[in-house]
Amino acid sequence: MKRTVTHLADGRELIYFDERDDASRDAVDQRDLPPPPPASEMRYDPVLNEWVTIAAHRQTRTFLPPSDQCPLCPSTPQWQSEIPSAEYDVVVFENRFPSFSHRVVPSQGDLLPGLVPTRPAAGRCEVVCFTSDHNASFASLSPGRVRTVVEMWADRTADLNTRDDIEQVFCFENRGEEIGVTLHHPHGQIYAYPFVTPRTRRMLQSARSHSGGNLFADLLAAERADGTRVVALNEHWTAFVPATARWPFEIHLYPHRQVPDIPALSGAERDAFGPLYLEVLRRLDGMFGLPMPYISAWHQAPARVDRDLAYLHLQLFSTRRAPGKLKYLAGSESGMGVFVNDVRPEQAAEMLRGVQL
């Protein structure tokens, strides 16, 4: 894999990950762009013990443009996009409308002194383009391309984890307008947070309190032994619907070896991930014969704390519970954080296994 670093017209970094060593990346961004926005603002919620980010500039971000004006497609003589080259394999670039950024300006002071500390939202947000094909999807990628994507995730996680202003790296993909996607081109994102996220803190606290072995390893072993909710597996990975699934169709993918993050995966584990993940995505799309909206979220260890407790895994879930019906986070889920699932996890696993590929 060839890695080439360049910059866009406004100074944002762009990185090509090419599958050919002879790939030429000399194209220059010719656009006249304003400077990137300064970092957003973080406000600490003392009631819930977590940070909230205020990123008002994101109100003006690109929203469902026509395909001939897609900012993630390769540039053409008629349209200059975020990627200057006429073609590419995998590309990562700094988000033009970031929630977190290293372009920090001095804070104006705490909003409510003694109660609500206020800080610049330092960190980084990156956009990941999986392919130059606008009409593709992650499920349509080849195993070789998925391997390139895994290498990119490992590269970005390792790099971002070394930065002083970053405490956790989150790689994810949103797919479908039902999820809130504003660009149809197949892409994901990477958020590098200046704090350990509430979800991860809670998970690690549970792992710390668990008696016996590692909590995540014990759950994986129990699901594999039970087998009822296992959807697919190979030598290095198992995909299963968790017994406590919150979403109608939710699948977790675990490597069989405890590792803290994507960079820690071996070459064999990286090779084995793609075929299994592609099978799971195609089973998900085959459920109702139409593309399933989903969120695909990597749970990685924080950069500096509790790495021995963490267990890398991927959480994949869809908001669709039936054809034409979505799962909404209504009163109980949004107001109290108490999920009520409409589909039994055992039934979901059986339905996924029954999809003819």
Residue 271 burial by Cβ neighbours in a 10 Å radius (0-12, 13-18, 19+): middle
Given this model, what pLDDT does residue 246 score?
98
Do residues 148 and 224 both lie within one domain? no
Look at the pTM and tell me if it is higher than 0.85: yes
Task: Report percent pLDDT > 70 for the chain.
Answer: 100
Do residues 182 and 225 both lie within one domain? no
Distance CA 311, CA 261 (A): 7
Last residue of a domain, one of 170, 198, 226: 198
Distance CA 211, CA 169 (A): 28
Strand partners, 298: 314
Half-sphere exposure (Cβ direction) of 247: Cα atoms closer than 13 Å:
19
Do residues 177 and 206 both lie within one domain? no
Last residue of a domain, one of 198, 221, 256: 198
Closest CA to 146 of 6, 253, 292, 300: 253
Distance CA 88, CA 74 (A): 7
Mean pLDDT of 261-273: 98
Active site residue 7: no
Instruction: Give the pLDDT band (50/70/90) at residue 212.
Output: confident
3-state SS, residue 233 = strand
Do residues 160 and 246 both lie within one domain? no
Do residues 184 and 231 both lie within one domain? no
Given this model, what pLDDT does residue 71 score?
97
What are the tens digits of pLDDT across the range 274-331? 999 999 999 999 999 999 999 999 999 999 999 999 999 999 999 999 999 999 999 9
Distance CA 42, CA 38 (A): 13
Distance CA 108, CA 110 (A): 7
Residue 46 burial by Cβ neighbours in a 10 Å radius (0-12, 13-18, 19+): exposed
CATH number at residue 328: 3.30.428.10
Please, what is the average pLDDT of the chain?
A: 97
Residue 206, pLDDT > 90, answer yes
Among 184, 185, 187, 236, the one annotated catalytic? 187
Half-sphere exposure (Cβ direction) of 2: Cα atoms closer than 13 Å:
11
Closest CA to 232 of 252, 217, 259, 261: 252
Closest CA to 166 of 192, 190, 189, 191: 192
Do residues 14 and 123 both lie within one domain? yes
Do residues 161 and 213 both lie within one domain? no
In contact, 86 and 75? CB cutoff 8 Å = yes
Do residues 14 and 150 both lie within one domain? yes
What are the tens digits of pLDDT across the range 83-137? 999 999 999 999 999 999 999 998 888 999 999 999 999 999 999 999 999 999 9
Closest CA to 187 of 276, 88, 85: 88
Do residues 150 and 7 both lie within one domain? yes
Provide the 8-state DSSP code for 83. Answer: B
Alpha-carbon dihedral sign for residues 95, 99, 102, 103: positive
What's the structural domain count of the chain? Answer: 2
Mean pLDDT of 243-272: 98
Do residues 171 and 306 both lie within one domain? no
Which positions ≥6 away from 38 have C-beta within 8 Å? Answer: 101, 103, 104, 105, 120
Domain with 263 in it: 200-353
Instruction: Give the pLDDT band (50/70/90) at residue 336.
Output: very high
Please report the beta strands in 112-269, taking only residues with DSSP state E, as ranges in sequence order. 118-120, 124-129, 168-175, 187-193, 230-233, 237-240, 249-255
Last residue of a domain, one of 142, 168, 198: 198
Given this model, what pLDDT does residue 108 score?
83
Given this model, what pLDDT does residue 106 score?
85
Task: Using the structure block, give the residue that is written with the tokens 């071996």.
Answer: 266
Q: H or E stretch including 41?
A: strand 41-45
What are the tens digits of pLDDT across the range 3-43? 999 999 999 999 999 999 999 999 999 999 999 999 999 99
In contact, 171 and 154? CB cutoff 8 Å = no
Do residues 152 and 295 both lie within one domain? no
Q: Where are the alpha helices (DSSP H) in the chain?
A: 143-161, 198-209, 215-226, 267-286, 345-353
Do residues 119 and 214 both lie within one domain? no
